[in-house]
Amino acid sequence: MFVYRIGKTRFARDIGGEGARLNGGRWNNVGTACIYTSESRALAMLEYTVNVNIEDIPRALSITAFELPGPVIYELKVPDLPGDWRNMPAPSSTKDFGTILLTDSAIHIIKVPSTVIIEEYNYLINPIHANNKNIRIVDVKDFVYDVRIKLK
């Protein structure tokens, strides 16, 4: 299975989840590493778009394709999630919920509904899990962000 992430080019090959560890995210607290990916390039772009201000979009962006190993994925459905999981900004309930899952030694990839399109999925990769040594970056390409998406 292939999943995708859009981000700053200098971090395109990061498989340690450093950005999420330093800044936190919807599904992790600061201090917990995580690699946020999406099931399609289009969803990766939508996720990036809703999480960045237009003035913060760098010129050097890349899209990274990862290959995930095997079928061992912890899948979450909407009823499994905190009631406020789609709120903006991301509530502490989702950060705490995801952090617990990301520190569970039995879980290495979490499939979670997208807040943008709940019928599509993001994949949270726990970079410190032993099974994730089999995750491969299969492609990194420059990504030109079309700012018309952010214009009013």
- pLDDT reading at 140 higher than 80: yes
pTM for the predicted model, two decimal places: 0.94
- The answer to whether 29 and 94 have CB atoms below 8 angstroms apart is no
Burial class (CB in 10 A: 0-12, 13-18, 19+), 84: exposed
Does the pLDDT value for residue 150 go beyond 90?
Answer: no
Task: For 62-88, write each residue's pLDDT tens digit.
Answer: 999 999 987 668 999 999 999 999 999
**Model pLDDT, residue 131:** 72
Query: 32-71: per-residue pLDDT in tens?
Result: 999 999 999 999 999 999 998 888 898 899 999 999 987 6
User: How confident is the model at residue 134, as a pLDDT?
Assistant: 80
- Judge contact between 1 and 68, C-beta under 8 A: yes
* CB-side neighbour CA atoms (13 Å) of 14: 21
Per-residue confidence (pLDDT) for residue 65, from 0 to 100? 98
pLDDT digits (tens, 9 = 90+) for 85-119: 999 999 999 999 999 999 988 888 999 999 999 99
Cα dihedral 8→14→18→24 (10° resolution): 60
Tokens of 18: 């450093």
CA angle centred on 6, ends 123 and 129, rounded to 5°: 40
- For residue 89, whether the previous peptide bond is cis, meaning omega lies within 30 degrees of 0, is yes
Side-chain-side CA neighbours of residue 5 (13 Å): 25
Give the H/E segment covering residue 66: strand 61-67
User: What percentage of residues in the chain have a pLDDT greater than 70?
Assistant: 97
- CA angle 131–137–143, rounded 5-degree value: 145
